[in-house]
Structure 1
């Protein structure tokens, strides 16, 4: 997958569509989740999170 395209889709889903979660599979085109190339996706998710206390 194209990481830049994935980041754009993530920004749109959270920022414009109001998504509150994402689903990330354990294998991204043969790359494990701890592959450094996948890190920008997790960084963006962390930046976008707003945790609310109950």
Structure 2
């Protein structure tokens, strides 16, 4: 996977959080030194929710 595609995917997920939830979660994700796996899974779920809202 190219860095451009990776950036697009991550950017889309971070953008989704600002559209359907609290954007501070994305800021915390980017600025935290803690393990972020669970937070990122939550963002992926929110991105999926945003996609389904777009289709409606």
- Do they superpose with TM above 0.5? no
Give the structure with the larger helix fraction.
2
- TM-score, scaled relative to structure 1: 0.31
- TM-score, scaled relative to structure 2: 0.30
Structure with the greater relative contact order (CA < 8 A, sep ≥ 6): 1 or 2? 1
